[in-house]
Structure 1
Amino acid sequence: MARLSLITACWNSARTIGDTVRSVNEQTLPDLEYLVIDGASTDDTMAIVAREGRRVTAAVSEPDRGIFDAYNKGIARSTGDVIGFLNSDDFYASPTVLADVMAAFEDETIDVVYGDLTYVDPVNTDKIERVWRSRPPTKANIARGHHPAHPTLFLRRRVYNQAGVFDLGYRQAGDVEFMMRVFHTLDLKWVYLPKIMVRMRSGGATGGNFASLIRQNRAVRKAQVDLGIRYPLVGFALHKIMDRFQQRLRGRMATL
């Protein structure tokens, strides 16, 4: 039976990481490896992890080169057959998320499991702002700029063995570049779980203001060029705008 390695990267996350580790505590999956990789926080992040993280199996705090470096450290330290990530301002939407994921991986031919995500207000996390409904990671969707929500994405270790890890050169879009590289270059078998798996606080390095969105999408376009993915800029931009509009519309409908 496959075992899950879950990785949380954090840095000065004392305000939110308690929700993250408590949501892992509540998971009904009986066995998992849970790694916390901290970038030498100067606040109470690690004290909270030590106090609240009952299911944390290992935690390390040391300087790093950013979140994607922390991801790579977590992958290198992990031992599970399946790898997933939960960031320090995210938390699981229900206690059965990880059990549902690993049930899908009982089929040894499955390489990928993913689902949906909601963006919530950073303070009032019951208030839904956007709903990200992940689309199938086909080559056509990847070219248009559509990909699964990364915190809902779980991959077998063999995918990392084939595709490599996160490229630190993409500081604004390392997760997107990685997913494009995986789904554009490999033929994988996936399962989509049509449920909200993760609640993510809005804002952050790539989910905040207009300028940050522009920087991220420029990085995504550069990654597409580097990977040999060709798609018209106008079409790419229109797909991104429409996707964001649909996310907000679903968020409004969810609060009615």
Structure 2
Amino acid sequence: MTISLITVTFNSYFTLRDTLQSVLSQSYPDIEYIIIDGLSNDGTVDLIREFAPQFNGCLRWISEKDNGLYDAMNKGIRMATGDIVGIINSDDFYHRNDVITKVVEAFDNTDTQVVYGDVRFVNPKNLDKTVRYYSSKNFAPH
């Protein structure tokens, strides 16, 4: 089962590196990674080019004008060919390297249609320090 991950960027040079490394560190082998950049001028595109070879052909990206975040997300969704589509923002990262494996297992073994999880906001200078936490517990289906 292929999962398509989409990241929308605009002048995200200082945060995108952690996102790219996080996607690369995932243990799940069948990831299609799509980056939609809105004509960044801060080095974001150079960073994407730097990381592209590490994705071994599984990264597709474009840098072009868009009409905002949701237009860019929809471009990524239209480009996606995976069985599952996920969004990881340009300042996000996965806390563990088996997150995508767990997501795929949830879809593969049940009638699951949506997967969500807890959200932790961390201190940008100390990624181990949680500054805000939102539990997904209250959103569980009844």
Same fold (TM over 0.5): yes
Output the CA distance in 2 between the equivalents of 1:4 and 1:121: 29
Q: Which has the higher strand share?
A: 2
Aligned equivalent of 1:95, options 71, 88, 97: 97
For 1:37, the equivalent position in structure 2 comes to 36
Superposed CA RMSD in Å reads 1.6
What amino acid sits opposite 1:4 in the alignment?
I
Q: Report whether the alignment pairs 1:10 with 2:12.
A: no
SS at structure 1 position matched to 2:76? helix
Gap regions ≥5 residues in structure 2:
none
For 1:63, the equivalent position in structure 2 comes to 65
Output the CA distance in 2 between the equivalents of 1:39 and 1:11: 5
Q: Which has the higher helix share?
A: 1
Normalising by the residue count of structure 1, what TM-score does the alignment of the two structures yield? 0.51
Following superposition, the deviation at residue 126 of structure 1 comes to 2.0
What amino acid sits opposite 1:42 in the alignment?
N
Output the CA distance in 1 between the equivalents of 2:5 and 2:140: 22
For 1:104, the equivalent position in structure 2 comes to 106
Q: Give per-residue Cα distances to partners, 1:210-230, cap 9 Å, x unaligned.
A: xxxxxxxxxxxxxxxxxxxxx
For 1:47, the equivalent position in structure 2 comes to 46
For 1:136, the equivalent position in structure 2 comes to 139
Answer with 1 or 2: which has the greater Rg.
1
For 1:163, the equivalent position in structure 2 comes to none
Output the CA distance in 2 between the equivalents of 1:137 and 1:8: 26
More contact order relative to length (CA 8 Å, sep ≥ 6):
2
Normalising by the residue count of structure 2, what TM-score does the alignment of the two structures yield? 0.90
Give the total of aligned pairs: 138
Gap regions ≥5 residues in structure 1:
140-256
What amino acid sits opposite 2:9 in the alignment?
C
Following superposition, the deviation at residue 108 of structure 1 comes to 5.5
What amino acid sits opposite 2:34 in the alignment?
L
For 2:88, the equivalent position in structure 1 comes to 86
Q: Report whether the alignment pairs 1:127 with 2:126.
A: no
For 1:243, the equivalent position in structure 2 comes to none
Output the CA distance in 1 between the equivalents of 2:12 and 2:59: 19
Percent identity between the two aligned chains: 42
For 2:75, the equivalent position in structure 1 comes to 73
